[in-house]
Amino acid sequence: MSLPVIEISSPELTSQDPAKQDPASNTTAATNANLASSSHQAPGKRLWKRFKRHKLGFYSLIIFVSLYVFTLAGELVSNDKPLVIYYEKQWYFPLLKDYPEAEFGGNLPIQADYHDPFIQAQLDKPGNFVLYAPNPYYYDTLNYFSETDHYPGPPDHDNKLGTDIAGYDITARLIYGFRVSVTFALGLTLVGTILGIAIGAIQGFFVGRVDLVTQRLIEIWGSMPELYLLIIFASVFEPTLSLLFILLSLFGWIHLSDYVRAEFLRNRQLEYVKAARALGLSNSQIIWRHILPNSLTPVITFLPFRMSAAIMALASLDFLGMGVTAPAPSLGQLLLQGKENLDAWWIALSAFSVLVLTLLLLTFMGEALRNALDTRIADEQPDAEPQADTILAPLKTGAA
């Protein structure tokens, strides 16, 4: 999840023409031999290379992205509607279109329930063909024809991970719950990061009065009791994902803006910014081209951790009963059900495992990203040895 954001944040890095990066090695100057021999890596590319070297984090990223892509295609995997039906020499696509029961030999003009043994028998007649989703439940599917006599039902051959207290299939709810959590977290991180960068950048670049006033406003804003506000809003409005999203976004940027502000304060003093000003660049050009790309280290480092914090925030709100209401899929709600029905061990165990796995993957990615951004750890290229300068740095003194 980290990579796209890196690319967004430093536009000129990605706009490099790959052909131009070719190390043309036809130079003659001996003193510049090192330029010709090494390929010119953009800092973003170098970061990616260093990230890849951290195996645990890299594989975590791959697993996380595949999991998310998998759940994005959840409708194909976990759905109460069959994917394709060939019935009486005609093709049907229940995923895209609702068909009444009457189409398949039933009596009623209402939507077909594909768990109905009668419909299933109709579809299974010779000459017909039906392709069910691997897990034939949507997150809000109630199977009225189930053999389970009471809910929550333990894992069996129909519901591989059992059902929850309302009779929903847990596998389906985990798949959709993961999808909702990660999408929510991605959105929250994106909005929080953009807001944090924008506000921190304004403070750090214009300093003085602007900084002072904004900082006081942020302190006031940050001292508002976020949880109470959520409780109040949850009691006034019907809590929906979008409402939670807006409320959490309002507070999500506060700490990030401090980091960006500090980076801006440092970078605006550096000589390349002075040089840019002496060139006559405008403020926005200086911010956009010079300071911003060099101020993103803390932002990027925190991205996975912000993601996991956002996932946790949504889960805790749902757990506390202030989040979205059933039948919306939610990992926090499953945890709550698990806590209230400790004998139904399959609920707590599965929800807990998914949450822990998600957070672990994000933490590993965060660790890898932090190492990749830590310039004190040298690039371990076969031709490049650790620099004496970097090793000496703590002992030598910071002259110049």
Partner 1 sequence: MTQPLLALENVSIHFGNKRVVDNLNLELRAGERLALVGESGSGKTVTALSILRLLPQTRISGRILFNGENLVAKSDDALRQVRGADIAMVFQEPMSALNPLYTIGAQIAESLMLHEGLTRAQARVRTISLLERTGIREPERRVDSFPHQLSGGQLQRAVIAMALACNPRVLIADEPTTALDVTVRARIVKLLIDLQEQGLTRHNGEPMAILLITHDLNLVRRFAQRVAVIEKGKLVESGETETLFAAPQHPYTIKLINSIPVRNLQNVSPQAPLLLETRRLRVEYPKKRQGIAAWWGSDRFVALASANIELRQGETIGIVGESGSGKSTLSQAILQLIRSAAGEIEFEGAPLASLSKSRIRQLRSRLQVVFQDPFGSLSPRQTVSQIIGEGLALHFPELSAEQRYQRIAQVLQEVGLPLTALDAYPHEFSGGQRQRIAIARAVVLEPKVLILDEPTSALDVSIQNQVLKLLLGLQQKYGLSYVLITHDLSVVNALAHRVYVLKDGEIVEHGETEALMASPANPYTQALVQASL
Q: For binding to partner 1 (CB under 8 A), which residues are involved?
A: 10, 12-13, 16, 20-21, 23-29, 32, 34-36, 38, 40-43, 270-272, 274-281, 289-290, 293-294, 385-386, 388-389, 391-392, 395-400
Q: How far is the CB of 200 from partner 1 (least distance, A)?
A: 18
Cα(349)–Cα(359) distance, rounded to whole angstroms?
A: 15
Label residues 326-365 b or e (16+ Cβ within 10 Å = b). Answer: eebbbbbbbbbbbeebeebebbbebbeebbeebbebbbbb
Cα(183)–Cα(303) distance, rounded to whole angstroms?
A: 14
Q: How far is the CB of 211 from partner 1 (least distance, A)?
A: 15
Q: How far is the CB of 272 from partner 1 (least distance, A)?
A: 5
- Nearer to partner 1 by Cβ, of 69 and 388: the residue is 388
Q: How far is the CB of 305 from partner 1 (least distance, A)?
A: 23
- Nearer to partner 1 by Cβ, of 42 and 190: the residue is 42
No. of H helices and E strands in the chain? 19, 3
- Nearer to partner 1 by Cβ, of 262 and 281: the residue is 281
Cα(264)–Cα(201) distance, rounded to whole angstroms?
A: 6
Q: How far is the CB of 333 from partner 1 (least distance, A)?
A: 44
Q: What share of the chain is helix, strand, coil (3-state, %, to 5)?
A: 60, 5, 35
- Nearer to partner 1 by Cβ, of 26 and 107: the residue is 26
Q: How far is the CB of 21 from partner 1 (least distance, A)?
A: 6
- Nearer to partner 1 by Cβ, of 236 and 395: the residue is 395
Cα(354)–Cα(197) distance, rounded to whole angstroms?
A: 31
Tell me if 365 sits within 8 A of 52, measured CB to CB.
Answer: no
- Nearer to partner 1 by Cβ, of 36 and 241: the residue is 36
Taking residue 184's Cβ as centre, other Cβ atoms within 10 Å add up to 22
| Identity of the residue numbered 266 | R
